[in-house]
Chains A and B, each alone.
Chain A
Amino acid sequence: MTSTTQQADRIIVLDGTSLPGRELIGGKAWSIARMTGLGLRVPPAFVIPISECIRYHEAGKTIDDDLWDSVMDGVRSIESATGRRFGDPHSPLLVSVRSGAAISMPGMMDTVLNLGITDEVEHGLAHITGDAIYARDTHARFCHQFGDVVLKAHLDPYASGSTAADMRALVLEDVGESIPEDPYSQLRAAISAVFDSWTSARARSYRKHWGISDEGGTAVTVQAMVFGNLGDESGTGVLFTRNPLNGEATPYGEWLPGGQGDDVVGGTHAVLDLSALEAAMPTVHEELLTWAKTLEDEHREVQDVEFTVEAGTLYLLQTRTAKRSPDAAVRIATDLVSEGFIDSATAVMRVTPEQVASVLLPTLAPEALIDATPVAVGEAACPGIAIGIGVVDPDEAERRAHAGEDIVLVRPTTSPNDVHGMIAAVAVVTDLGGSTSHAAVVTRALGRPSVVGVGDGVAEGLEGQLLTVDGAAGRVYQGALPLQATTIEDHPALSPLAAWASEHCPIDIVAQHDSDILDLDVERIGVDPETGRVDQEAVTQALLANALPVRGSVLNTTEGVRALLASGTSLVIADPPLPLQLRVLQATKE
């Protein structure tokens, strides 16, 4: 440690002894320092602070000798903490390099993993892990990522089975530059690339758009890689401190014995649940649950924790706010209030109007599904239930929808020529394509339930039939199946949330009102009929010109809420009030 404290101004070892500000070391390093500060084990790391990026640019894009000496000290601190050596094939240390500005922004260099791998280290890794395929793949992935991220080669996405030699050749052909074969040259190039990315065209353009100063820079975090494939007591996984699908307050996660980080995240391997970790390594499992709870308590929010177990030792790689389903979002927000972690004003900010709308969507009545056999099964592209008549021709779909019919557009594929029919329809079914097809992208943007890839000729066969489309399950049924509605009052999490929203919302929003009202839908105010875009100024003017209580679907948009706030409207009718109240609350926060 003595050697690093002398250089404390040039690099900072993230050993938990201090917590420098995010504005000095960037978000990534700050998060590592915070975890180590809580006494949790993370792979050893050091950070080159943002001030060094400024110095680098002032010096004409050079890493001066003093800084490089400090970086070497940093590498040595990781070497002594891990007992491995950078570039040593017998006990290799591999590191990741990440950028970290105070505000994250597009254009900054992405992560490079597994720096320090060379032909010799690849052989060493194959020997240590007993897995030559893994060693070869790690080397090839490193070359792909280094070529893509540091040398800016235009490469196709990584395909497994590649070799480092293949990747080196592709990169050399594309950019005329070779990937360094010396670990320290790799590190130096990666650090320069992070600093250079501060002035990339995209980063500059982003800062210009957002009025962020070009002064400043990005930090560089260098961290040891840990191995989830080092014998029987190793593996990698993800833990959610609560169930992200239904919100239950029980940890939920995935465990991949013998796996490396990206295997879980990329979904490339079949994974087990956490009980398998508990059975194999009960003390590691208990430590993981304790640490995860520490993180949830600290953040007062559900965490998604990535971890690796290397030869029986648990390391936390990353923690962040967990992404969750709409059902989980409402349940977690109310649970955290009743557990005393957050107050009701915070809870209403954690649920979006879209999530409430999604929870309130009708579902198929379970008893109806007992006898129902789907007439088409495909990929679930956009969730929701809709009932309508199958129509193939988009013009006919549009015409009949305008005449008041509910239409399900059934197409072999979709092109821009079909978009008007998709807008008019209540749901879309296609023969071809997967969950990332144009049809899927368009229906999700429109919020239309859709099922794609039901098979050649199947969708057109549904023409003229009354159909029930279940976009979440990827199924289409004949006839109109009975639906089951959810109400706010009956929902255990939505009903307290609704009460809190009424309490905190600065505008009175009620479900019913008896006297005269201004109905923007009836008056056709605020929406451009051709583009469907909201005209905020028109809504504001209409509200200012009228003292009446107001209603209208246009209000439940970002622009509509801005108009409400700008006009000082005091009474709004919306049924149910909750989604609009949440939108107003979020707008007032901004």
Chain B
Amino acid sequence: MSDPDVPVEFLALHGLAVRKAGSPATVASLLGADEAQIAAALDAAVAEGRAAGAKGTYMVAPAGQAWLIEQYPVVYAEAREDGELTAAYERFEKVNTELLALFTDWQTMDAGGQRVPNDHSDADYDRGIIDRLGRLHERAERVVGACADAQPRLRRHLERLEEAYDKVLAGDIDYVSGVRIDSYHTVWFELHEDLLRMLGRTRQE
């Protein structure tokens, strides 16, 4: 699903930069690209001094970050002028605000006007939030779908969100906002970073 007009050496480094570090498999999974192609591109990036790698794990080198920052306005020149994509991005930000509030409600609860950690003792409270996540996921499908109409590769993020949501629904509640795994928040955070880099926007928080 990678866009034919975006060179793979750029795309592989971009995918790596979104996650900061990772294996060819994780980068390929994030991009929805072919793992062997990504591995080759990452090795080439190491040879160029744009990435560093050890034991199958790669990191973007400072020179690679600088190169990406140069490349973004060129590679995504059209995307940045695409009114439908930027409009979809604005809607994305609205869903983002609601989702972050949801993650906060998941992690904390109101006890007499003060936020305290959610002890997950109230199954109805938790189910209510998972229900809200489902409804927001439906909105995310529309918004990310609209982004992917302009940049097909972004559809992969939607699949990853779906995978996280499915795990939550099946009872693996770490997949709401866990950090070291591809939780709904982890994937959303990466999607957000991906869009910010593509569109040349600055993070507001």
A residues bordering B, Cβ < 8 Å? 27, 104-108, 110, 154, 156-157, 202, 205-206, 209-210, 240, 243-245, 252, 254, 267, 320-326, 328-329, 350, 352, 354-355, 358, 383, 413, 415-420, 422-423, 430, 432-442, 444-446, 452, 531-533
Contacts and interface: CB of A to CB of B under 8 A. Distances in A.
Contacts of A244: 111-112, 114
A438 B117 contact: no
Contact of B127 (A104, A328, A383, A418): A104
Given A107-B134, A154-B139, A156-B94, A354 B119 contact: yes
Given A436-B100, A452-B205, 20 more contacts: A27-B124, A104-B123, A105-B127, A105-B131, A205-B169, A206-B169, A209-B169, A240-B112, A322-B111, A324-B111, A329-B119, A352-B121, A416-B18, A416-B19, A418-B20, A420-B21, A438-B189, A439-B205, A441-B185, A445-B107
B4 interface: no
A263 to B, nearest CB: 14
Interface in B92-119: 94, 97-98, 100-101, 103-104, 107-117, 119
Interface of B: 17-21, 94, 97-98, 100-101, 103-104, 107-117, 119-125, 127-128, 130-131, 133-134, 138-139, 142, 166, 169-171, 177-181, 185-186, 189-190, 192-193, 196, 203-205
Contacts of A446: 179
Given A106-B134, A107-B134, A441-B104, A209 B17 contact: no
Contacts of B94: 156
A252 B112 CA distance: 8
A206 B168 CA distance: 10
A464 B124 CA distance: 46
Contacts, number: 148
B181 A323 contact: no
Nearest to B194: A416
A117 B133 CA distance: 29
A441 B204 CA distance: 15
Chain B interface, >50% SS class: helix
Contacts of A243: 112
B190 A416 contact: yes
8 contacts: A106-B169, A244-B112, A323-B125, A352-B119, A416-B18, A420-B20, A434-B205, A438-B192
A415 B108 contact: no
A418 B123 CA distance: 33
A104 B124 contact: yes
Contacts of B115: 435
A436 B134 contact: no
A157 B98 contact: yes
- 8 tightest A-B CB contacts, nearest first: A433-B205, A106-B131, A244-B112, A437-B205, A244-B111, A532-B180, A417-B20, A436-B100
Contact of A413 (B18, B134, B166, B203): B203
A17 B48 CA distance: 81
Contacts of B166: 205
Given A240-B112, A413-B205, A445 B19 contact: no
Nearest to B114: A245
> Which of the listed residues B103, B139, B177 has the most CB atoms from chain A within 10 Å of its own CB?
B103
A531 to B, nearest CB: 5
A526 to B, nearest CB: 15
A168 B134 CA distance: 25
A320 B205 CA distance: 36
Contacts of A206: 169
Contacts of A323: 109-111, 116, 122, 125
A355 B131 contact: no
A445 B108 contact: no
Contact of B170 (A27, A156, A209, A328): A209
B97 to A, nearest CB: 8
Contacts of B203: 413, 415, 432
Given A156-B94, A358-B117, A440-B104, A533 B181 contact: yes
A379 to B, nearest CB: 10
Nearest to A433: B205
Contact of A210 (B116, B128, B133, B171): B171
A355 B169 contact: no
A323 B190 CA distance: 33
Contacts of B170: 209
Nearest to B183: A445
A323 B126 CA distance: 12
A436 B169 contact: no
B156 to A, nearest CB: 16
Contact of B193 (A202, A252, A416, A444): A416
B131 A245 contact: no
Nearest to B113: A254
A422 B196 CA distance: 21
A441 B112 contact: no
A106 B116 contact: no
A455 B34 CA distance: 43
A436 B166 CA distance: 24
B170 to A, nearest CB: 4
Nearest to B60: A417
A252 B114 CA distance: 13
Contacts of B177: 441, 444-445
A388 B152 CA distance: 44
Contact of B116 (A157, A202, A325, A437): A325
A245 B111 contact: yes
A394 to B, nearest CB: 8
A323 B189 CA distance: 29
> Which of B101, B128, B205 gathers the greatest number of chain A CB atoms within 10 Å?
B205
Contacts of B127: 104-106
Contacts of B131: 105-108, 110, 202
Nearest to B21: A420
A437 B100 contact: yes
Contacts of A107: 131, 134
A531 B190 CA distance: 17
Contact of A417 (B17, B101, B125): B17
Contacts of A452: 205
A206 B178 CA distance: 21
B169 A444 contact: no
Contacts of A104: 123-124, 127-128
